[in-house]
Amino acid sequence: MGGGEEGPGSGVETRAVSFHPAAHKELSKLDSASRKRVAATIDSLAAGDEGLQTHALNGPLKGWQATKATRGHRVIHRDLDDGILHVGYVGLHEYETAQRRLAVTEFFRHAGERATDHSQQALLAEAAAVDHSDGVMVALLPPAAVADDVAHEGGQPPEDLHITLAYLGNTADYSERELAVLPQLVSAWAVRQKPVQIRTGGVGKFANPDKGQHVLYAAMDISGGAQLHSDLARYLERHRYRLPSEHGWTPHMTLRYVDQHFRFMPHVPEHRWTATAVYTYVGQTRHEARLGTLPSGTATP
Mean pLDDT value across the chain: 77
What is the rounded average pLDDT of the residues 15-24?
79
Q: Which helix (H) or strand (E) holds 278?
A: strand 277-282
Residues 6+ apart with CB under 8 A from 264: none
pLDDT in tens, 114-171: 333 443 343 333 333 333 336 899 999 999 999 989 887 767 788 888 999 999 988 8
- pLDDT at residue number 261: 58
Instruction: Report which DSSP code applies to 9.
Output: T
Domain at 187, CATH number: 3.90.1140.10
Residue 25: which of 172, 235, 164 has the closest Cα? Answer: 172
What is the rounded average pLDDT of the residues 73-101?
78
User: Which of 131, 158, 185 marks a domain boundary?
Assistant: 131
Number of domains in the chain: 2
User: Which of 109, 131, 153 marks a domain boundary?
Assistant: 131
Residues 6+ apart with CB under 8 A from 106: none
Q: Using CA atoms, how far apart are residues 74 and 38, in angstroms rounded to an integer?
A: 8
Residue 116 sits in the same domain as residue 157:
no
Better-predicted residue by pLDDT, 2 or 272: 272
pLDDT in tens, 183-193: 999 999 999 99
Better-predicted residue by pLDDT, 156 or 108: 156
Q: Using CA atoms, how far apart are residues 241 and 222, in angstroms rounded to an integer?
A: 24
Residue 160 sits in the same domain as residue 199:
yes
User: Which of 105, 131, 157 marks a domain boundary?
Assistant: 131
Q: Using CA atoms, how far apart are residues 219 and 241, in angstroms rounded to an integer?
A: 26
Residue 24 sits in the same domain as residue 151:
no
Better-predicted residue by pLDDT, 291 or 60: 291
Q: Which domain range does residue 22 map to?
A: 17-131
Domain at 57, CATH number: 3.30.2310.20
Residue 39 sits in the same domain as residue 184:
no
Q: Using CA atoms, how far apart are residues 294 and 187, in angstroms rounded to an integer?
A: 8
Q: Is residue 10 part of a domain?
A: no
Residue 221 sits in the same domain as residue 114:
no
Return the amino acid letter for 176. E
pLDDT in tens, 242-259: 887 656 788 999 887 766
Q: Using CA atoms, how far apart are residues 36 and 112, in angstroms rounded to an integer?
A: 23
- pLDDT at residue number 121: 40
Task: Tell me the C-alpha to C-alpha distance, in Å, between residue 212 and each of 76, 84, 96, 263, 274.
Answer: 21, 30, 15, 14, 36
Among 15-19, 109-113, 197-201, top mean pLDDT goes to 197-201
pLDDT of 79 above 60: yes
pLDDT in tens, 184-220: 999 999 999 999 999 998 888 777 654 556 788 899 9
Better-predicted residue by pLDDT, 28 or 253: 253
Radius of gyration of the chain (CA): 20
pLDDT in tens, 257-285: 766 555 666 778 899 999 999 999 987 68
pLDDT of 6 above 50: no
Q: How confident is the model at residue 100 (pLDDT cuts 50, 70, 90)?
A: low
Residues 6+ apart with CB under 8 A from 221: 198, 199, 200, 201, 251
pLDDT in tens, 60-72: 677 888 898 877 7
Residue 76 sits in the same domain as residue 142:
no
Better-predicted residue by pLDDT, 33 or 149: 149
Kindly write down the DSSP assignment for every residue of 201-230, as one continuous string.
Answer: EEEEEEEEGGGTEEEEEEEEEETTHHHHHH
Q: Are 138 and 278 in contact (CB under 8 A)?
A: yes
Give the residue ranges of DSSP H helices in 161-293. Answer: 176-190, 225-238
Residue 55 sits in the same domain as residue 148:
no
Q: Using CA atoms, how far apart are residues 151 and 158, in angstroms rounded to an integer?
A: 5
Q: How confident is the model at residue 19 (pLDDT cuts 50, 70, 90)?
A: confident
Q: Is residue 6 part of a domain?
A: no
Better-predicted residue by pLDDT, 250 or 25: 250
pLDDT of 226 above 90: yes
Residue 61 sits in the same domain as residue 82:
yes
Q: Is residue 8 part of a domain?
A: no
